């Protein structure tokens, strides 16, 4: 009664109760009962337990049954009016929040999992032991296994079916103990062996509260290990040595980076003069659905200085047997799907794949894909039907859709001029410091030579053969914190794939190509997703970025659960996208014999939001990073409740810098 009347119920926990208030409780106990001074801690612990139980009773009887009924919760119950009106209102508001109700439900589920409930009520183990002593031989200690068993006897004198096997085992072990056949060591006594579970480190089962294991089992106290001054000095020296080694490694990496940069600058003249790296200048944006119409900021270069440093210019004609490099389009001249080489030699243009070359067509060699899933103008059924299947082969192509590249001027530039170009670049304030060299490279050399960052990806990353193209505008947009497209997100997924490979987590996480999700209602998207889900274990987590138009979201497939992670503050239902993914999973379940599984679509409203209007792509990359680094994989519950939390610029810069570092390795 002292604790419930003296301690306000709106205090969240017992440790937060003021020390002076606890001292008053102790003084009142001393005035009422004869207690030893050394019992203060034990008495206050007991008071705290009873205070928490009082709050639990109020919650279960007078709060939870009346959720949603404000009139019933306005005042405390008449018999507990002493708690006060203001503390009661605050207590009710604490116990009706979503977070507290979720915690309450979780704890209730844990309690329901308990198998062996005692039937002692308020008597407790101490009262039971006093009761048994009247019929127990004088001088004999009552084993706690006997107390545990007696505590679970029903009113009719019988034991429940759940407890019977343990009670039988206790009887058998007690008999062995009496005969000296049972080995007992420390806390591994009759009860621990019967339950087949080790003793908890902070309490003892079957004896009541306020008994610790070291006292009951007479365990030896662990000796404190004292560290001498000499050991501390040695440890500090070891730390200094490790620090110096770390600094040395960092300096070596910086030196290697500078060496690579110097080599790159030394090769610029050859890069600019001897060959023009092919890059498709398709009007189709790498941003997928963005179609960003913003004009790029021009680089202020001194044109006169450029002209003065051009030593000589001459036209380099293509080889006699070739028409030169070209871009290949389908349906319309702007829909560029591949690049390659066109052949103008009349002798080799008569036949192709055993059939005469049609009028108005030319022979081309498909050297690389831009839209791998695009159909060929003249497919060879069963052999080559899509662009990606024709890479490395000769095919027929309508001449009107072959865009020939113009001859380029051979230029020679000196290294001083290249360095001066770098010095004249004005850095955007959003460019991270460690990325300034990449930014200067993109805004000068890549922009002037139409150079792209390209690499052929491992088939295991997305389950298909894919060549990655990062254009100049993609690099600049990334470093200036503008909208990013599927190419940059795919590049970051490649880096994450390397990370999970090092951690041996390829059976836990997998990735879906973000470019494949464009126009999700296509039949080839469904077949690609089904085939991807068939790879590896069925419980892998698949990350699938998707752009429904001007916005990126992340879709996660985990077994038969489909989670939508949307960086926008307000929830939007992407009906067409959800139906496409659900239908694909249904097809996968049907093909793999999982017909009883029904896919469910869930929106996670608690994901961190984008702070502005262009950060959706960066948030998607950050979601994947956070989930992979969370060993508990608790994102379905952690982000289930809506919050206003948004990612900070520093958190988004982490993934920006990581993908920028990866792109630099491809230069």
Q: pLDDT confidence of 179, banded at 50, 70, 90?
A: confident
Q: What is the DSSP string of 218-268?
A: TPPPPPP-PPPHHHHHHHHHHHHHHHHHHHHHHHHHHHHHHHHHHHHHHTH
pLDDT above 70 as % of the chain:
85
| Token couple for 481 | 């914190």
pLDDT at residue 309, as a whole number: 45
pLDDT at residue 595, as a whole number: 66
The answer to whether residues 210 and 125 touch, using CB atoms and an 8 Å cutoff, is: no
Most confident residue range from 339-343, 412-416, 491-495: 491-495
Q: What domains can you pick out in the chain, each with its CATH number?
A: 2-112 (no CATH), 124-216 (no CATH), 317-404 (no CATH), 448-665 (3.40.395.10)
pLDDT at residue 319, as a whole number: 40
pLDDT at residue 1, as a whole number: 66
pLDDT tens figures, 190-210: 888 888 888 777 778 888 776
The answer to whether residues 375 and 386 touch, using CB atoms and an 8 Å cutoff, is: yes
SS (H, E, C) 496-521: HHHHHHHCCCCCCEEECCHHHHCCCC
Q: pLDDT confidence of 139, banded at 50, 70, 90?
A: confident
pLDDT tens figures, 96-138: 998 989 988 888 888 777 777 777 777 788 888 888 888 888 7
More confident residue, 45 or 247: 45
More confident residue, 291 or 366: 366
Stated as kind and residue range, the H or E segment containing 127 is helix 124-133
386/389 Cα distance (integer angstroms): 5
More confident residue, 61 or 538: 61
pLDDT tens figures, 569-610: 776 778 888 888 988 888 888 888 876 677 888 899 899 999
Q: Is 478 exposed, middle or buried (0-12, 13-18, 19+ CB in 10 A)?
A: buried
pTM: 0.44
Q: pLDDT confidence of 440, banded at 50, 70, 90?
A: confident
Q: Is 322 strand, coil or helix?
A: coil
Alpha carbon distances (Å) from 404 to 211, 335, 361, 370: 88, 15, 14, 16
pLDDT at residue 247, as a whole number: 77
pLDDT at 225 over 80: no
pLDDT at residue 488, as a whole number: 94
More confident residue, 177 or 546: 546
Q: Is 381 exposed, middle or buried (0-12, 13-18, 19+ CB in 10 A)?
A: exposed
| Residue 398 CB neighbour total at 10 angstroms | 15
The 10 Å CB-count burial string (b at 16+, else e) for 253-289 is eeeeeeeeeeebeeebbeebbeebebbbebeebbbbb
pLDDT tens figures, 354-364: 778 888 888 88
pLDDT tens figures, 476-523: 999 999 999 899 999 999 999 999 999 888 999 999 999 888 777 777
Tell me what the pLDDT averaged over the chain comes to. 80
State the pairing for strand pair 553-558/561-565: antiparallel
């Amino acid at each position: 009664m002292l604790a419930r009347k003296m301690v306000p119920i709106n205090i969240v926990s017992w440790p937060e109760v003021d020390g002076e208030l606890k001292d008053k409780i102790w003084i009142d106990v001393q005035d009422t009962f004869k207690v030893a001074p050394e019992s203060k801690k034990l008495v206050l612990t007991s008071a705290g337990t009873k205070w928490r139980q009082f709050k639990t009773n109020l919650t279960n009887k007078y709060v939870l049954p009346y959720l949603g009924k404000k009139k019933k919760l306005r005042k405390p119950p008449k018999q507990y009016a002493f708690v006060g009106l203001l503390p009661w209102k605050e207590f009710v508001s604490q116990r009706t929040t979503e977070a507290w109700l979720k915690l309450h439900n979780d704890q209730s589920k844990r309690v329901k999992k308990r198998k062996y409930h005692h039937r002692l009520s308020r008597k407790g183990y101490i009262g039971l032991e006093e009761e048994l002593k009247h019929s127990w031989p004088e001088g004999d200690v009552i084993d706690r296994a006997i107390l545990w068993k007696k505590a679970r006897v029903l009113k009719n004198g019988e034991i429940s079916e759940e407890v019977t096997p343990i009670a039988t085992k206790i009887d058998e072990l007690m008999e062995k103990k009496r005969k000296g056949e049972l080995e007992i060591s420390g806390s591994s006594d009759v009860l621990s062996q019967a339950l087949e579970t080790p003793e908890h480190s902070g309490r003892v089962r079957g004896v009541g509260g306020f008994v610790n294991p070291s006292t009951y089992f007479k365990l030896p106290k662990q000796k404190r290990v004292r560290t001498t001054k000499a050991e501390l000095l040695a440890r500090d020296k070891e730390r200094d040595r490790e620090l110096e080694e770390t600094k040395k490694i960092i300096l070596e990496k910086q030196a290697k980076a500078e060496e690579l940069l110097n080599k790159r600058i030394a090769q610029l003249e050859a890069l600019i003069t001897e060959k023009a790296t092919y890059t498709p200048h398709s009007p189709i944006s790498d941003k997928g659905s963005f179609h960003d119409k913003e004009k790029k900021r021009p680089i202020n270069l001194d044109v006169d200085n450029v002209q003065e440093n051009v030593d000589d210019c001459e036209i380099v004609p293509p080889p006699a047997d070739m028409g030169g490099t070209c871009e290949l389009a389908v349906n319309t001249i702007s829909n560029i799907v591949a690049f390659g080489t066109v052949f103008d030699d009349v002798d080799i243009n008569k036949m192709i794949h055993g059939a005469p070359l049609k009028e108005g067509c030319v022979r081309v060699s498909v050297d690389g894909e831009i839209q791998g899933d695009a159909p060929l103008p003249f497919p060879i059924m069963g052999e080559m039907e899509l662009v990606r299947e024709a890479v490395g082969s000769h095919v027929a192509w309508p001449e009107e859709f072959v865009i020939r590249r113009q001859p380029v001027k051979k230029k020679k530039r000196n290294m001083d001029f290249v360095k001066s170009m770098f010095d004249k670049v004005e850095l955007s304030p959003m460019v991270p410091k460690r990325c300034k060299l990449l930014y200067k490279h993109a805004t000068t050399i890549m922009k002037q030579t139409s150079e792209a960052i390209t690499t052929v990806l491992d088939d295991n990353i997305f389950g298909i053969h894919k060549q990655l193209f990062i254009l100049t505008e993609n690099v600049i947009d990334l470093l200036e914190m503008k909208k990013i497209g599927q190419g940059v997100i795919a590049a970051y997924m490649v880096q994450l794939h390397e990370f999970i490979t090092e951690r041996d987590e390829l059976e836990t996480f997998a990735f879906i190509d973000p470019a494949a999700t464009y126009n999700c209602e296509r039949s080839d998207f469904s077949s690609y997703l089904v085939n991807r889900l068939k790879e590896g274990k069925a419980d892998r987590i698949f990350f699938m970025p998707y752009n429904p138009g001007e916005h990126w979201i992340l879709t996660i497939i985990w077994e038969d659960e489909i989670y939508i992670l949307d960086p926008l503050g307000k929830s939007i239902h992407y009906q067409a996208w959800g139906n496409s993914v659900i239908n694909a999973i249904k097809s996968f379940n049907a093909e793999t014999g999982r017909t009883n599984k029904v896919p469910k679509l869930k929106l996670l409203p608690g994901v961190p939001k984008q702070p502005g209007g262009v950060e959706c792509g960066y948030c998607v990359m950050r979601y994947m990073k956070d989930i992979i680094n969370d060993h508990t994989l608790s994102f379905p519950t952690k982000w289930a409740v809506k919050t206003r939390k948004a990612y900070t610029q520093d958190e988004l810069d982490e993934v920006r810098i990581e993908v920028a570092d990866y792109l630099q390795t491809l230069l």
